[in-house]
Amino acid sequence: MNQPSDPGHALIGTWKLLTVRLEFVEGGEPLALFGPTPRGRLIVTGAGDFMTIITSDDRALLRDTARMFDTMMAYAGKFRLDDNKIIISCDLSWYPDWVGTEQVRFFELHGDKLSIRSARQTHPRYPDRLGYGVIDWTRES
């Protein structure tokens, strides 16, 4: 990951969240999982660390822990690249079923914009529907 043209090198840094949406396999309008103005950070290091946290922007008044779980997502681990895939060996997650798994994401870089798309999977909030999570970021540093 030491070559400037290496996509892994281009991923290194801190990214600010732009949008999060869930696109269901059966079609329909994409769902804004965390509302119209979600908040989040993605940190990717040269040492192979990947860490992200995403929240809805309306959490300040929440007191119900179940609702707090529904309005956030966070996971971390070591990553490796395979072409346009980033594979995270998840060792920490807000969703316990992900711990000890490999989370595969597909990425596209366009200048300071990064788009990450999940493999086809269920989401904890929609366990009976297959879809793709699509998350767009802009570079902070």
Measured in Å, how far apart are the chain's first and last C-alpha atoms? 17
Can you give the pLDDT at residue 40?
97
Q: How many CA atoms lie within 13 A of 118 on its CB side?
A: 18
Instruction: Report the predicted TM-score, pTM, of the whole model to 2 decimal places.
Output: 0.86
How far from the centroid of its chain's Cα atoms is residue 82's Cα? 17
Domains of the chain: 7-136 (2.40.128.300)
Q: From the first residue on, what is the mean pLDDT of each consecutive set of 10 residues in the chain (141 residues)? A: 57 96 91 92 97 90 77 95 95 94 96 94 86 96 77
The CA-based diameter of the chain, rounded to the nearest angstrom, is 47
